[in-house]
A and B are shown apart, each in its own frame.
Chain A
């Protein structure tokens, strides 16, 4: 009889999805809970910087599209929390970890949205980087995660096109609009490049994650792919990426790029980004202000169950 471990390793080897009721190593479970809940939190915290512009969107069409986009993110958070629950942790526990600061979320959402062009830049660059990361996750070894990612990726690529289209409109507009567009690209470019995480040699969880086929490509491989794509797309906008060292390299068939400011990266991860405090405070406020609403709903549901039992 093969052992649990052997069956598990064999499934990973043969690309058979691991399902919630299957045996899995404790470390695999922990790694997934950590990654999937962080991913869910990122969707929820990510609603804030964009939600910031809903009431100021410049046309009715843009307003409707932005609400729909932020609402999609709430939906993504919801499927990811549900998928995480299949690993034996409740949504409440996961959310408590976010609110207590124990769990992290993507650092990109700790940057502020200062102008309307930021909504375009987030769509193009931030959603673009997210897609690069997430498309390989559609083949992740854990079934519920892979299936959630398939749905999410479809919607994300739609968001990315919308973001690019916002920037394209600005890039063809007035001088002030063009300036707004370039300024947003200047501010979002490096944080987006950092979204792929630390360089491979200093990424502690990467190796295990690759071995278990949760992750398929290294941080640096995905980052290079992202830079190669954006360096071409920015030409369509007639704008520039803020990197004087960005240059096509015939030999490698990739773009060379400048030094990443890892000090800034770790600073933001460790809570000193421009909006870390505001983002967490907004989530806590929504949670605390909503407590009486959740209690009322639970009390009412209990009453209704009780009265239907009597009947």
Chain B
């Protein structure tokens, strides 16, 4: 259960980092190309720390098996084995959609990692401590952009409205609790995401209000049938993996 929990955290970081890295070289202005690439780099760094920890726990549990590495976890699992939330595998769309996705997730990740600072697992707590400094910057950067775009021009405001319409239905999954998250929370090394929702809502809506955008309302609509955390993904993930895993799949067993 611990490894499933760690892998979920790692998959979130990897998939969003991968998506952000698609912007590298194509950003709207040089400084922001650098900023978003930097966030991609932070997220991939976080995923590496988490996969390494998951691998070491798995290897301790099953010493009879061939040892697993960070790259086995990233490159040799199939789409249904990935546990990232569906929000993060969405195509980048325009700058507004990329910004809103980052803002929603970083706001969530900040609360989640703040709880993980108190994890009973000292290694996980250490990763949280290292990552939280980065996440604070991601929150600041993305919040500033939400304000700029929401309260910028008519066009940028409209684009933000479109982004809200596309992404809002995917937010609830962040706060639904899976079996392995419940076990992690009960065991004292993880956190139950449902408990983070009130703080998230307050923080997100404060920014949306400043940005003159409609507030996020937690309407009890029928739940989305997809559940990335349980391996039930949108079709987008398969294409991410096809691209990301291609060399490892085409030339098995090689060092790179």
Contact = CB atoms under 8 A, between A and B. Distances in A.
A56 B48 contact: no
A297 B148 CA distance: 6
Contacts of B147: 300
Interface string A164-187: 000001101110110000000000
A48 B95 CA distance: 19
Interface string B37-56: 11011001101100100000
Interface stretch (A16-24, A66-74, A213-221, A255-263): A66-74
B26 A286 contact: yes
A277 interface: no
B22 A55 contact: yes
B247 A56 contact: yes
A210 interface: no
A146 interface: no
B251 A176 contact: yes
Interface stretch (B69-77, B120-128, B193-201): B69-77
Contact of A74 (B18, B30, B244, B248): B30
Interface stretch (B83-91, B106-114, B149-157): B149-157
Secondary structure of the A side of the interface? helix
Nearest to B26: A286
Contact of A177 (B30, B37, B159, B254): B254
B94 interface: yes
Contact of A56 (B30, B34, B152, B243): B243
A58 B247 contact: yes
B25 A67 contact: no
Given A71-B38, A74-B37, A289-B28, A60 B155 contact: no
Contacts of B28: 286, 289-291, 293-294
B30 A78 contact: yes
B71 A59 contact: yes
A169 B152 contact: no
Contacts of A57: 247
A60 B26 contact: no
Interface residues of B, number: 49
A51 B25 contact: yes
B248 A294 contact: no
Given A58-B256, A293-B95, A67 B40 contact: yes
Contacts of A285: 26
B254 A64 contact: no
A54 B24 contact: yes
Contacts of A176: 251, 254
B175 interface: no
Contacts of A295: 152-153, 155-156
Given A68-B41, A296-B153, A77 B25 contact: no
A55 B23 CA distance: 10
A55 B21 contact: yes
B18 A173 contact: no
Interface in A21-37: none
B31 A296 contact: no
A289 B248 CA distance: 34
Contacts of A74: 24-25, 30, 33-34, 37
A296 B256 contact: no
Contact of A58 (B38, B156, B248): B248
Q: Rank and list the top 6 A-B pairs by shortest CB-CB distance, nearest first.
A: A290-B28, A296-B152, A296-B156, A51-B25, A47-B25, A293-B28
16 contacts: A56-B246, A58-B247, A67-B41, A70-B37, A74-B33, A74-B37, A116-B256, A169-B255, A176-B251, A177-B251, A286-B26, A289-B26, A292-B156, A293-B29, A294-B28, A295-B156
Interface of A: 44, 47-48, 51, 54-64, 67-68, 70-71, 74-75, 77-78, 81, 116, 169-170, 172-174, 176-177, 282, 285-286, 289-297, 299-300, 303
Interface of B: 14, 18, 21-22, 24-34, 37-38, 40-41, 44-45, 47-48, 51, 70-71, 74-75, 94-95, 147-149, 151-153, 155-156, 159, 240, 243-244, 246-248, 251, 254-256
